[in-house]
Amino acid sequence: MPQVGFIYHNKFLLHETGHSHPENKHRLESLLNYVRGTNFSQRLEWIEANVIDESLLRLNHTEGYIDYVRNTCISSPSSLLDDGDTRVCDRSYDVAVSAVGAAVQGLKLVVSGEYGRVFVASRPPGHHALPNHAMGFCLFNNVAIAAKYALEHLGLERIMILDWDVHHGNGTQDSFYDDPRVMFCSIHQFPFYPGTGSSVEKGVGEGENFTLNIPLKAGAEMEKYRDAMQNFVIPTASAFEPQLLIISAGFDAHYQDPLSNAGLRDEDFAELTRLSLSIAERHCDGKVLSVLEGGYHEEGLAKSVAQHLTALTEDKVPEAVAK
């Protein structure tokens, strides 16, 4: 059985966004309570997030933006960043730095071979965050920073980022739009927030054809996701041959999610995970880093993450799935 790390810290609850905000601490509390009560939680290695390194932010964000976020958080107990839906408190900057650190911590554990698969249960999420702009509840782009760390400090040359959050990962796309070292693949509801992610967005310059957007109409169920994986994402991985798979794991394509109109059931996230694992098994020596993004129905999120983790703790990806 592959060793699966589960990275978490209670500090992630200290990013207060207010009672009515969909991205709130109850998401993580619900997820943790549910996962701790399951049988397979014994098969997870619980790892405390312990990397706090502000210099990591500079891998993907401008100095001016980092200062803006830090100063805004420190100066006010409750503020909105940039476009108005990213609420922060006086602790949010520290928490966001820890969330970035947790992604890099998970990355190192996977790349070193210490763990085959790692899931990072952190908040705030990151995939909408641009180098100089907060968006969509995201302060800093956890996944983009982890990928840049892998390229610049760990010697990796080809990384696939698979983003199946229901919203397009515009921030991550932006970070690697001209970079052929990162194949960014996103499956998302379209047209939808944040407005980007049409199939004609394929990258520019040397990065042309290293971005793959698979927009799905509202109401998409597992059949559409399976089709997207088998006919587009998996063949793209075969051509690209990534050394590492990073999943931007959003669970807001769940049918109960209040912020989307997709139709995935709990168990569909296990199948989506197995399909993703088939890429890692074939090309990446099994190495997978999965980082929590969205998911706003507390029970739906908890059960969907449990399905994701169940699949991560399984031994072998069935051949039928891997085809």
Q: Which residues bind Zn ion (CB under 5 A)?
A: 165, 167, 250, 252, 294
Report whether 74 contacts 90 (CB < 8 A): yes
Of 165 and 268, the one with the shorter C-beta distance to Zn ion is 165
> In the complex, what is the shortest distance from the CB of residue 197 to Zn ion, in angstroms, rounded to a whole number?
12
Query: Prior bond to 22 cis, omega within 30?
Result: no
Q: Which amino acid is at 30?
A: S
Q: Closest CB to Zn ion among 85 and 314?
A: 85
| 228 neighbors 216 (Cβ within 8 angstroms) | yes
Give the residue at shortest CB distance from Zn ion: 294
Least Å from the CB of residue 46 to Zn ion = 26
Rounded CA separation 209/183 (Å)? 8
Q: How far is the CB of 294 from Zn ion (least distance, A)?
A: 3
Residue 164 or 240 having the CB closest to Zn ion: 164
Question: Is the C-alpha dihedral spanning 118, 121, 124, 127 positive or negative?
Answer: positive
Active-site pick, 128, 188, 254, 283: 128
CB–CB of 141/60 below 8 Å?
A: yes
In the residue annotation, 128 being an active-site residue is answered as: yes
Which class for 50: exposed (0-12), middle (13-18), buried (19 or more C-beta within 10 A)?
Answer: exposed
Bridge-based pairing state of the strands 79-81 and 86-88: antiparallel
- Least Å distance, CB 66 to Zn ion, is 23
Question: Closer to Zn ion at the Cβ: 5 or 294?
Answer: 294
3-state SS assignment for residue 96: helix
Please identify which residue in the block is written with the tokens 């760990």.
154
Six-digit token pair at 97? 């730095």
- Of 250 and 263, nearer to Zn ion (C-beta) is 250
| Active-site annotation, residues | 128
